Amino acid sequence: MSVPAREKVELLSGNEAIARGAHEAGVTVASAYPGTPSTEILENFARYEGVYAEWAPNEKVAVEVAHGASMAGARALAVMKHVGVNVAADPIFTASYTGVRGGFVIVTADDPELHSSQNEQDNRHYAVAAKIPMLEPSDSFEAKEFTRLAFALSERFDTPVFLRSTTRISHAKGAVRLGEVSGPPPALGFVRDPAKWVMLPDNARRRHAIVEERMRSLAEFAETFDGNRIEWGDRELGVITAGVSYQYVREAFPEASVLKLGMAHPLPSRLVREFAAGVSRVVVVEELDPHIETHVKALGVPVQGKEIIPIVGELSPRIVRDGISGKSVPVHPAEGLPGRPPNLCPGCPHRGLFYVLNRLKVTVAGDIGCYTLAALPPLGGMDTCVCMGASLGNAFGIEKALGKAALGKVVAVIGDSTFLHSGITPLIDIVYNRGFTTVIILDNRTTAMTGAQENPATGRTLMGEPTRRLDLAALCRAVGVDHVYTVNPHDMARTEAVLRRELFRGEPSVVITEAPCVLLPDHRRKKRPVYEVIPDLCTGCMACSKLGCPAIEWVPFTPEEAVAAGKKGSQKGMARINPLLCDGCNQCPPLCKFQAILEKKD
């Protein structure tokens, strides 16, 4: 690869490239709520000179802030994972009507294959439903270029623009040529224009007509946009594709003719017809729903799509090759290997709480965060998990269905950041509608699941400034919960005692479990003890194993080995603590009836 000396090429992830593209486009205000696979976009953007970037409490607020910045003339960015768009849909649909002043781009990072999500919805539907154009890059290089272009389109067509990424774009790296950072945005200042910004029915009705006109112009633009391009090859096979699927198609069928679509909405019609007329067989290769396929079929073009390309999960070159060729080469992964699912970290404060909940045999309405991992064995401590903030409403609904019989039997469990995202309004519902739900807020002082981001309860902003720290207990009291208690979840005996009391209270109560996430630098810097199992004292009862701490390892014995180790022949094994993994949380020592777990002296 020959690179002109003055151009700088860097290996960037799709997320880093989007951040860079936004910076090059002159974005000065950006707002987001962290969510895999989108989180690194704002983390990277925040590092540029002269920009403002923030974590909003949720995606709806992020969109409203970015929309407001656009109204005032700034170029503005809102970023979220696919399910975040559900939360933000309300302002998005009407922002489509108001249009923009400074360029306004909304990034949706979809997660085909559910690498780290609760569903694999296809957000191209939002572009259609909200009548907002959507660009779809196919690698890091395009991620940066399309981000810049999205801002240009936004200002040219007076519309918010969606940029859709997927996990394999966001978290794949590729070579990107850095470009110039563009000049300042159009003049700042809010200009009164009620017909554009005040969406009373009369104004909105007129704006709707403008939206339809805009979509017609954009459809025309799509016909000649160079991101929608035909790569003629062998005329036997013609593939219409977009996003990362384009790369898989090029890999699997290097000779084929390809119509590569960089714009997912609106789709071109003449270009599709021209392409279809030039090849003998047309196949649409797209991940998830038949979005392009439906459009092509509506044009009356005969096409194959979802009958040969799966609708569930992400694609790969292999899946594309097998689907189009109709032949499949078998692969033989090694069989019989124990799985390796993710687990809560050693020393994770959530483990103590879920161990207690297990003992209490309650129904646990769960939520989204690291603690969702407690649903896996051996803790198996979660009974529902739907979306951000659902735990409170779900628990309250179970309670209303069962009446008094639910007393003492149901809890809602939610993380601090998730609670601030969507848990406050259902807590108000519980108080207002005379419930007795017990809500447990896991306060680990960070947004851990996505890699430890700040939130309103941490006392720091995304830009690293100190700020007023939200007081969770005071907030709960303010909405009318009279019984708010804070416990240390590493102290499982005390946590259990408080929960037993609160579960049977005939009024709403909130128990805040407070202990830092072990990933936080402050915690990592602290000197922590390491525990060990004294082999002579261990009877192999496995009481400590039930915690599921990754540091506690089970060493199985044969009867001969047991006897050789000075144990009864019937002892099946012994526990051992891996000193490289133990975080010194002191949860396991009290579980051992034989006092076999002691602090290690070196």
Partner 1 sequence: MTQARGNVFLAGVGGQGALLASEVLGEAFLLGGYDVKKSEVHGMAQRGGAVTTHLRYGPKVFSPLIEPGTADLLIAFEKMEALRFAHFLSPEGAAVVNAQEIMPPSVATGRERYPERIEERLAGVTPNLYMVDALAAALSLREVRAVNMVMVGAASRLLPLPETCYLEALRGRLPERIVGVNEKAFRAGRALLAPRGAGR
* Residue 516 CB, nearest approach to ligand SF4 (Å): 14
CB nearer to partner 1: pick between 201 and 377: 377
- For position 540 contacting ligand SF4 by CB under 6 A, the verdict is yes
Residue 352 binding ligand SF4, by CB under 6 A: no
Under rule CB under 6 A, how many of the chain's residues touch ligand SF4?
29
449 binds partner 1 (CB under 8 A): yes
Bridge partners of residue 480, in order along the sequence: none
Instruction: Tell me the per-residue interface mask from 564 to 593 with partner 1, x by CB under 8 A, - otherwise.
Output: --------xx------x-------------
C-beta neighbour count of 353 within 10 angstroms? 28
Q: Which is nearer to ligand SF4, 385 or 552 (CB)?
A: 552
| Residue 110 engages ligand SF4 in binding (rule: CB under 6 A) | no
588 binds ligand SF4 (CB under 6 A): yes
Identified binder of partner 1 from the candidate list 28, 31, 36, 453, rule CB under 8 A: 36
Q: Torsion over CA of 154, 157, 160 and 162, rounded to 10 degrees?
A: -70
For the CB of residue 573, give the shortest distance to ligand SF4 in the complex, in Å: 8
427: enclosing H helix or E strand = helix 424-432
Binder to ligand SF4 among 544, 548, 562, 571 (CB under 6 A)?
A: 544
Provide Rg for the chain, Cα atoms: 28
Dihedral of alpha carbons 67, 72, 77, 78, sign: negative
**Based on CB atoms, which residue is closest to partner 1, 108 or 509?**
108
50, 336, 521, 566: residue in contact with partner 1 (rule CB under 8 A): 336
E-only strand ranges, 40-155:
52-55, 76-81, 104-110, 134-135
The minimum distance between CB 256 and ligand SF4, in angstroms, equals: 54
Q: Does 549 bind ligand SF4 (CB under 6 A)?
A: yes
Contact range with partner 1 by CB under 8 A, out of 18-26, 184-192, 457-465, 546-554: 546-554
Choosing from 143, 272, 517, 551, the residue that interacts with ligand SF4 (CB under 6 A) is 551
CB of 575 to ligand SF4, least distance (A): 4
Query: Shortest distance, CB of residue 237 to partner 1, whole angstroms?
Result: 16
CB of 116 to ligand SF4, least distance (A): 24
- In angstroms, what is the minimal distance from the CB of 203 to ligand SF4? 60
Which of 427, 552, 562, 585 lies at the binding interface for partner 1 (CB under 8 A)? 552
543 belongs to the binding site for partner 1 (CB under 8 A): no
Q: Is 163 in the site for ligand SF4 (CB under 6 A)?
A: no
Non-local (6+) Cβ contacts of 167 within 8 A are 36, 37, 109, 110, 111, 112, 113, 115, 314
Q: Residue 302 class from Cβ within 10 Å (0-12 exposed, 13-18 middle, 19+ buried)?
A: exposed
What does 531 interact with, of partner 1, ligand SF4, none (CB < 5 to 8 A by kind)? ligand SF4
Nearer to partner 1, 301 or 373 (CB): 373
CA distances from 516 to 32, 138, 349, 497 (A): 23, 39, 7, 21
Q: Least Å distance between CB 552 and ligand SF4? A: 5
CA distances to 92, 101, 561 from 196, rounded to whole Å, are 15, 10, 81
| Cα torsion through 138, 140, 146, 147, rounded to 10 | 140
Q: Could you say whether residue 332 binds partner 1 (CB under 8 A)? A: yes
Residue 324 has, within 13 A of its CA and on its CB side, a CA count of: 26
The residue type at 85: V
The alpha carbon of residue 142 and the mean position of all alpha carbons in its chain are separated, in whole angstroms, by 22
Burial of 570 from C-beta contacts in 10 A (0-12 / 13-18 / 19+):
exposed
- Indicate which of partner 1, ligand SF4, none lies near residue 247 (CB less than 5 to 8 Å, by partner kind): partner 1
- Rule CB under 8 A: choose which of 37, 84, 305, 366 binds partner 1: 37
Q: Render the burial of 50-85: b for 16+ CB within 10 Å, e for the rest.
A: ebbbbbbbbbbbbbbbbbbbbbebbbbbbbbbbbbb
Closest CA to 447 of 19, 63, 14, 42: 42
* Residue 597 touches ligand SF4, criterion: CB under 6 A: yes
Interface pick for partner 1 out of 131, 144, 250, 351 (rule CB under 8 A): 250
Cβ proximity to partner 1: between 172 and 470 the closer is 172
* Near ligand SF4 by CB under 6 A: residue from 32, 284, 538, 562: 538
Residue 1 binding partner per list ligand SF4, partner 1, none, with a CB distance cut-off of 5 to 8 Å that depends on partner kind? partner 1
Residue 272, both tokens: 């599709």
Could you say whether residue 592 binds ligand SF4 (CB under 6 A)?
yes
Distances (CA, A) of 50 to 46, 54, 105, 305, 455: 9, 13, 19, 46, 22
Nearer to ligand SF4, 289 or 553 (CB): 553
Interface positions, 353-392, toward partner 1 (CB under 8 A): 370, 373, 376-378
C-alpha 517/C-alpha 522 separation (Å) is 10
CB distance 267 to 295 below 8 Å: yes
* Contact map string, positions 556 to 575, toward ligand SF4, x by CB under 6 A: -------------------x
* Cα separation values, 298 from 216, 260, 262, 294, Å: 17, 19, 20, 6
> How far, in Å, are 33, 348, 414, 439, 455 from residue 421 at the CA level?
9, 22, 10, 15, 10
Contacts of 150 (CB under 8 A, 6+ apart): 25, 103, 105, 135, 161, 163
Q: Which stretch binds partner 1 (CB under 8 A): 221-229, 235-243, 274-282, 341-349?
A: 341-349
Asked whether position 346 contacts ligand SF4 by CB under 6 A, the answer is yes
Q: Which amino acid is at 468?
A: R
Interface stretch with ligand SF4, choices 236-244, 356-364, 458-466, 578-586 (CB under 6 A): 578-586
Asked if residue 339 binds partner 1 (CB under 8 A), the reply is yes
Asked whether 127 and 106 are in contact (CB, 8 A), the reply is no
Please give the distance of CA 81 from its chain centroid, rounded to a whole number.
Answer: 5
**CA-closest candidate to residue 365, choices 334, 406, 327, 328:** 406
Under the rule (CB under 8 A), what is the footprint of partner 1?
1, 9-11, 36-37, 115-116, 139, 167-168, 171-175, 244, 247-248, 250-251, 316-318, 329, 331-334, 336-345, 370, 373, 376-378, 449-451, 542, 545-546, 548, 550, 552-554, 556, 572-573, 580
Q: Which parts of this chain interact with ligand SF4 (CB under 6 A)?
A: 346-347, 531, 533, 538-544, 547, 549, 551-552, 575, 577, 582-588, 591-592, 594, 596-597
